[in-house]
Structure 1
Amino acid sequence: MTVSPQLGALLHRSLRVYQVWGANTEVGKTVFSTILCGLTSTYRPDEKTAFLKPVSTGPAHEADGRHIPRFLPGIHSETLYQFDLPVSPHLAAQVSQKNTPSDKEVLSGILDFASCHASPNSGWLFIETAGGVHSPGPSGTTQADLYRPLRLPAILIGDAKLGGIAQTISAFESLKLRGYDVELVLLFQNDTYQNHSYLTPYFRENHSIPVQTAPLPPPFASSNPQSDTRNMQAYYTSTVTLSSLSSIPAHLSSSHKSRISRLESMPSTASQTIWYPFTQHQHLTRDRITVIDSAKDSHFDTLDPGTPSKSLLRPMFDGSASWWTQGLGHGNPTLSLAAAYAAGRYGHVMFAEAVHEPALALAETMLSGMRNERLKRVFYSDNGSTGVEVAVKMALGASRGRYRHGWEGEGMKKKAGVIGLKGSYHGDTMGAMDCSEPGVYNERVEWYEGKGAWLESPGVSDPLFQRTLVKVVRASPELFAGKRGHAHQSKDELDWSGLPVVFDEVFTGIYRLGRFCAASFLGVDPDISVHAKLLTGGLLPLSVTLASESVFRSFLSDDKSEALLHGHSYTAHAVGCQVALESLKEMIKMEENGEWDWALSSQHKSDDQSHRASSQQPDQVVGSRVWSVWSHELVEWLSWQREKGVEGVWALGTVLAIHMGCAGSSAGYKSTAARGLQAALLRGSDSDGSVHSRVLGNVLYLMAGQTTTEETVRRVERLIRQGLGDITR
């Protein structure tokens, strides 16, 4: 689920909000919540304490939300959703006559309740979950994922019973995997099992988390309710005065204050400490540094001064998909678990002349997904730029081997270069920069020696031109053999011809433009292909360079110096490979399940359905799908906004590029023509949130993730329309 912009992390300056989790059911969450409310209500008499139970099951008269006001009458306590059946919330909701609340509705209710209690004199709010950490909510989403967008600091109630040590540690690790900060562990002091004697040093020494214990409450005697009430009242009266528990409010208050203080000091500290990429620091003021506290799905939670009734954290759409990498949503639990699994199983293991399952399985999945019979080999590196470096070494090495006699001679090696496209960019390592024409990215780099010829297509991103260029190169080996060389003619149609053809799909590949392989738009297959960015779904840096068998064979020799002598210490990092494998599996499944069908126009949908019905080769159907998450209405509207500075618009897959211009402003990377629209999107609106975006000179680009919902995209589209209006008034 992608949470709408107004549903973000919850952090108020004066209201200290903590979420109470249980290592299991029946561990005493409500008893400890009552103790916490009692402790904080006397900590500072001028502050108020409130309690919220978002979801409760069982008879209403036994609801947890009614327990606290029974023993602490001054505490405001509420339950948002009460289901009568005493079972898991998802089952109780199914059999209930009431409408099952969505995750969004549950979160909205919590935010509304907190907002009502936030004021300059507000104090505390404790939000108690139901059952264990992974007990399902009403919709079936486990609570650990359901409440993740709020990113509330957690208080974990440990299990004091037999087996409770394992339950408590497992619950803690589940919360940690999802980015929760556990501030305190509480559990009963059960002298029979002594769980606290193990858990106290475990959490203190391994995680710097304090553990506090409370005596077991009096046993419940159903035959005498009045006596039970008196006994519990006496229990709470004595427990909240224990010196061992008296430090809890101060600890929680200090933690809350430190969190806010750190967030507010980060821009100043960062401006004196960090050297940012692609940034002219001469113009970078502290107020322009975005403080990101957390991220969920397609949004950041960023620091905003706010007011007492508003959260200090503002949800902001991640308009660059975190520099083109984000695909399956920030904080994706499947990818987080995959990373933890591989880290626990392997860590990092050396890869030269070795193999491990994540690397092999990922290589097989990539080659299968490409549907390119030429590509047979996979080389791992760390990022897109180094992946391009590898590709260039492969291509030059293969060409040198084939045209060795024609290329021999003084200075010939220095003259070797690439045939590329004008305006191209392949990264910032030296070799990758040399594959691009002179420009702002490399003109001040002293070692830059642009090596190649860069051709300009007759139209904007014209696929026919690129396809024709590849075919001409492959059909004309005599152009590249040199004066003393001989054109190579191979009977193998998969052998490279003319020159090895390299496609840089670091940005465009793996569904960024709507297809697994962007080369399918051109109708030709490369000999070498580079992939990164979406490869790991936005979680870890990793790149693969895929090569044909004929390119690979050109490096075979008895002389080791003729091998591809390139590598990295973290080559085929097992954690990255495992995450990438899960990422690819998930996106392939999304395509197979038609989860992007909403982005197809009606015409494309009908065309696609007819293809599915008539084609005998279903693998080819994928290549026929052309779609964009950005609506045709928006693209058409933008196309008519020339008087507002729009000079062009381009949309495909998840990408939207808006070319801006203004009188006296030149195009290109140094242009500031897109800054006005960028600032307007950052301001946003109360109803639709805001957008964090990047600009490439006069081009403002936006992109969604592969899991971004249609509702979220339409909100951003409304902000684009509003933003263009704001900058022209």
Structure 2
Amino acid sequence: MRQVGSVLWPKLRVLQVYGANTGVGKTIFSSLLCQAFQRHFPKVHYLKPISTGPLDEADDQHVATLGQNTRARCLYQFSEPVSPHIAARSSSKPVADANVRTAVHDELRTYATDEDGIAIVETAGGVLSPSPSGSSQADLYRPLRLPVFLVGDHQLGGIGTTISAWESLRLRGYDVQSIALFAEDRYDNHTYLKSYFAERDVHAFSIPPPPGRDADAVQDAEEMRKYYTSSSDHRAVSDFTNRFLEAHEMRLRNIQLMPSEAEQAIWHPFMQHTERSKDTIVAIDSAYDDYFQTYTTKRAAQQASSPEAPLLVPAFDGSASWWTQGLGHGNPRLALTAAHAAGRYGHVMFAGAVHEPALRLAQTLVEKTGNPRLSKVFFTDNGSAGMEVAVKMALRAAAVRNGWSAEDDIRILGLQGSYHGDTIGTMDCSEPSIYNKKVEWYTGRGQWLDFPQVKMRKGQWVVEPPATFEGALGEVEEFESLAAVFDLGNRSQHRDLYRDYLNGWLAEQARQGTKFGALIMEPILLGAGGMMFADPLFQRCLVEAVRKQESSATSARGEHEWSGMPVIFDEIFTGLYRLGRFSAASFLGVQPDIVANAKLLTGGLLPLCTTTASQSIFEAFLSKDKSDALLHGHSYTAHAVGCAVANESLGTMMKMERQGAWTTFRESWLPSSHGLSLSTSSGEVWSMWSNAFLKAISHRPNVDYVFALGSVLVIALKDPAGASYASAAGAGLRDKLFAGDSGDEAVIHSRVLGNVLYLMAAISTSRETLEAIEEKVFSALE
């Protein structure tokens, strides 16, 4: 199914009519609005996407009688007068939400000609009434994000239903242009609601109710004609039509001015601003599920020559919103969870206190990681801060056990190309690079090992040792499948090579008197340093080697205490199902003493980070002197809203895992050999990107290598000047994907790291969506 998004045409004004309940007069208001807008436009369109009941009683038939300038149409008509989800059962073919949205979009597109016009789209039932598929109407139409005219409920109990309907629409990101209802004197709902919404800066108005139905059909039609004529002339209706037309123009102006205004006011991250202009800035009007709704000045120029082309273009969120997106943009469950927590707590200080969302989240993380070493959770508000805390924890534990003082030069052991954040402390945990070498306070207090990498070249999986090691870590090793790479128990030759090399290197560091306070690693995948896929066997051997480096002062005190040096796993990027599992540590078969989690923690809705440590690390801070405590914190530590959303996000992802939500993805990655002892790596290895697709693009002549794991796809392009973060090789492919093909409505928004272009899916992305993305990528690589 083709992806469609927010509807916005310069010359076609579209208004969606929702009702707070059934029987509140949606069709009457739609009819009089059609008549009122006839005074402004030569063409007025009425669209009823879904209708139930006899054809001769259909709403579009009623509206069609208003006059020759009104064109009425229904897309899905069910003869049974029941809720659409029940009426659709009798249909020979199920009506999916995507089909309804595409049909609405395509119908509206036919109205978007070079003539000014307006379209009224009337829903069926109430805001949360079921669609044919069973989803709520508010969720069905949300990707289109049409401006809303909400018909309030004038009947008994209508005050509550109207306010609830408005809140439900707001919760889903709709712009409610106005609220209108009949002025019934009996309940006087209109007086209360106009005052209620005025306090919230929401326009609301009322008009007299229609006349009672006349038994004489001809007379009844004449009375309604007179009513529509008088009501469409009503001052409140005229005021609304003017407001709506002004709001349309304002929306156009705002989105069109955003790039140039951003150029003046915004300092963007990770960007050289001498290369930025209003023509390169992408304005995002909204986002839903896997797609942004984007505007660029280039698109505006295309739209000017093709009036039926929408001004906003759906763009697949190829960076998963900078690695945070897990359950789709605009997820109503996460939004409702956040709203509930905001209503229950707002924010409450956390020093010496606890609240249910934080406690439950901490318990889930300790239990679900499967790591018996971990016991205590510390909360911060972003990954860099969480890693700062992890380093503080590890260095204190190492210093206390080894008797080191502040004068000692304590180093970090890590991997080349690693990246753990932009704060000063975490920058010092990475080797000199484009990210830190020009930062005045950077000192780089560590030793960083080069490492073998996993790649697919021309359809063949290989583990490639670093060229600088001249055979010390073996030669290039070929594998029949990705699963075989992770079959660590059957890779004895390289295991022995890795162990000998690492033990020897660490022994030499000890002879030189190097004091290591921690081993810090991004397990499996090093993200910002260039999307490098580390050989899991090498990382496992490194952890095992450092834990054997015991001096007389650092003998292990228990099964789950750290030894050698504390081991920190930076799972900010790789953890929480990004690579297909809750914990990236499970790929290695070893467990860290400290682990940091963020990004997918809240499903892409709010910033939050946790640093989980072992009991032995925690006890290093215990004394009767407060200055020995971990004196680190944020005003928003353990933000209740973020913790509640994290619980919902993790609960949803764990449920997806239990229910086999990723079975269709995993099937293409099942190894052909049945002799693999996958128990050493705790389960299957798979990707949401298909195995066949990966092999196909690996043969492209401009591709150096590729790999995929979990939701991540990496394409390294050849660059004669050499691969680096400063390489421009990936920019051409990125720009080609975002430009799209001629006539193609959906494009791909992505990020590059030099010659490396990566794409990520959300955990909830469908196979159908990724198949469409794979086709676009395959074509773009031609």
State the shift of 1:692 in Å: 0.5
RMSD value, Cα: 1.8
Secondary structure of the corresponding residue to residue 124 of structure 1: strand
Superposed displacement of residue 634, structure 1? 2.0
5 Å-filtered alignment, 1:517-528, equals: 517-528=583-594
Contact 1:43/1:249 (<8 A) preserved = no
State the alpha-carbon separation in 2 of the partners of residues 622 and 474 from structure 1: 20
CA contact (8 A) 1:27 1:158 kept: yes
Please point out which of 291, 316, 327 is paired with 1:299.
291
Tell which deviates more after alignment, 281-290 or 627-636: 627-636
Q: Return the letter of the residue paired with 2:545.
A: V
Per-residue CA deviation, residues 442-475 of structure 1 (Å, 9 max, x unaligned), is 0110001111111111344111111111111111
**Contact 1:510/1:516 (<8 A) preserved:** yes
**Change over 3 Å in CA distance of 1:108–1:603 after alignment to 2:** closer
Partner of 1:492, secondary structure, is: coil
| Equivalent of 1:706 in 754, 763, 776 | 763
What are the within-5 Å matches in structure 2 for residues 248-259 of structure 1? 248-259=240-251
- Post-superposition CA distance 1:275-324 (Å, at most 9, x none): 00000000112111011111111110111322311211110110000100
Per-residue CA deviations over 1:670-711 (Å, capped at 9, x if unaligned) read 111111111111112244721100111111111111111111
The structure 1 residue matched to 2:667, chosen from 579, 593, 601, is 601
8 Å CA contact 2:589, 2:682 repeated in 1: no
Partner of 2:697: 638
Question: For the residues of structure 1 that align with 2:186 and 2:357, how far apart are their CA atoms?
Answer: 45
Q: Where in structure 2 are the equivalents of 1:32-431 lying within 5 Å?
A: 32-44=29-41, 47-94=42-89, 96-206=90-200, 208-221=201-214, 223-303=215-295, 304-305=299-300, 306=303, 307-404=306-403, 407-408=404-405, 411-412=407-408, 415-431=409-425
In the aligned structure 1, how far is the partner of 2:640 from the partner of 2:615?
25
SS in 2 for 1:295: strand
Query: In structure 2, what residue type is equivalent to 1:668?
Result: S
State the Cα distance separating 1:623 from its structure 2 match: 3.0
Measure how far apart 1:243 and its partner are: 2.5
Tell me the alpha carbon deviations over residues 390-444 of structure 1, each in whole angstroms, 9 at most, x when there is no partner.
000000011111111xx24x831xx112110010000100111000001110011
Q: Distance in 1 between matches of 2:663 and 2:385?
A: 35
**What secondary structure, in the 3-state scheme, does the structure 1 residue paired with 2:279 have?**
helix
Q: 1:147 is paired with a residue of what secondary structure?
A: helix
Q: 1:188 to 1:503 in 2, by over 3 A?
A: same
Paired with 1:109 and 1:164, the residues of 2 have a C-alpha distance of 32
- Other structure's SS at 2:174 match: coil
Aligned residues: 695
Provide the TM-score with structure 2 as the length reference: 0.87
Aligned-pair distance for 1:123? 1.2
Report deviation, 1:28: 0.3
Residue 621 of structure 1: how far off its partner (Å): 11
Correspondence 1:473 to 2:470? no
Per-residue CA shift, 1:315-344, capped at 9, x if unaligned? 011000010000100001110000000000
How many Å separate the matches in 1 of 2:307 and 2:294? 17
Secondary structure of the 1:287 match is: coil
**Helix, strand or coil for the counterpart of 1:286?**
coil
The farther-off stretch of 160-169 and 384-393 is: 160-169
Q: Is this contact kept in 1: 2:588–2:681, CA < 8 A?
A: no
Match of 2:580 in 1: 514
Q: Is the 8 A contact 1:165 1:195 kept in 2?
A: yes
1:4-19 equivalences under 5 Å are 6-19=3-16
SS in 1 for 2:622: coil
Identify the residue that residue 736 of structure 2 maps to in structure 1. Answer: 680
Instruction: Note the C-alpha offset of 1:658.
Output: 1.0
Q: 1:519 to 1:681 in 2, by over 3 A?
A: same
Alpha-carbon distance in 1 for matches of 2:232, 2:165: 26
Asked whether 1:540 is paired with 2:606, we answer yes
Deviation readout 1:78-124 (Å, 9 max, x if unpaired): 11111111111001111x24423111111111111111111121311
Asked whether the 8 Å contact 1:375–1:549 carries over to 2, the reply is: yes
Deviating more after overlay: 673-682 vs 169-178: 673-682
Letter in 1 for 2:325: Q
Given that 1:160 and 1:190 are in contact with CA atoms closer than 8 Å, whether structure 2 keeps it comes out as yes
Partner of residue 773 from structure 2, selected from 713, 716, 726: 716
Q: Which residue matches 2:725?
A: 669
Q: Does 1:690 align with 2:689?
A: no
For residues 379 and 411 of structure 1, the distance between their equivalents in structure 2, rounded to whole angstroms, comes to: 27
What is residue 21 of structure 2 aligned with on the other side? 24
Amino acid at match of 2:755: N
- The Cα offsets for residues 585-631 of structure 1, whole Å up to 9 and x where unpaired, read as 000011111111111135628999x99xxx9xxxx899302111111
SS at match of 1:649: strand
Gaps of 5+ in 2: 455-533
Please give the alpha-carbon distance, in whole angstroms, between the structure 2 residues aligned to 1:5 and 1:267. 28
- State the distance in 1 between where 2:135 and 2:315 align: 23
C-alpha distance after superposition, 1:36-72 (max 9, x if no partner): 001000124xx31110000011111111111111233
Is the 1:50–1:126 contact (alpha carbons within 8 Å) kept by the matching residues of 2?
A: yes
User: 8 Å contact 2:2–2:102 — kept in the other structure?
Assistant: no
The answer to which of 245-254 and 367-376 deviates more is 245-254
Which residue of structure 1 aligns with residue 519 of structure 2?
Answer: none
Amino acid at match of 2:750: S
SS at match of 2:228: helix
Q: Are the equivalent residues in 2 in contact too, given 1:88–1:136 (CA < 8 A)? A: yes
Query: Which deviations, in whole Å up to 9, do the C-alpha atoms of 1:207-261 show, x marking residues without a partner?
Result: x22112111111124x422222122112112211222322222111100000010
Distance 2:713 2:61 in 1: 51
8 Å CA contact retained: 1:5, 1:299? no
Partners of 2:204 and 2:148 in 1: CA distance: 13
2-side partners of 1:179 and 1:640: how far apart? 43
Amino acid at match of 1:531: N
CA distance in 2, matches of 1:453, 1:241: 78
**Secondary structure of the equivalent of 2:237?**
coil
Could you tell me which residue of structure 2 aligns to residue 446 of structure 1? 440
With over 3 angstroms needed to count, the CA separation of the structure-2 counterparts of 1:93 and 1:601, relative to structure 1, is closer
SS in 1 for 2:124: coil
Q: Distance in 2 between matches of 1:387 and 1:521?
A: 22
The 1-side partners of 2:632 and 2:217 are apart by 76
Moved more, 593-602 or 578-587: 593-602
Cα 1:138–1:457 change in 2 (3 A) is same
**Structure 1 position 74, deviation (Å):** 2.9
How far apart are the structure 2 equivalents of 1:242 and 1:153?
22
Over 3 Å counting, the alpha-carbon distance change for 1:371 and 1:119 in structure 2 is: same
The reply on whether 1:493 has 2:559 as its aligned counterpart is: yes
Question: Structure 1 counterpart of 2:566, which letter?
Answer: P
Distance in 1 (alpha carbons) for counterparts of 2:693 and 2:13: 42
* SS across alignment from 2:359: helix
The residue aligned with 1:482 is none
Inter-partner Cα distance in structure 2 for 1:314 and 1:189 = 41
Name the aligned partner's letter for residue 178 of structure 2. Answer: L
Distance 1:458 1:111, change over 3 A: closer
1:50–1:77 contact (8 Å) kept in structure 2: yes
SS at match of 1:530: strand
User: Does residue 462 in structure 1 map to residue 458 in structure 2?
Assistant: no
> 1 CA distance for matches of 2:67 and 2:335?
41
The CA distance in 2 between the partners of 1:378 and 1:603, in whole Å, is: 35
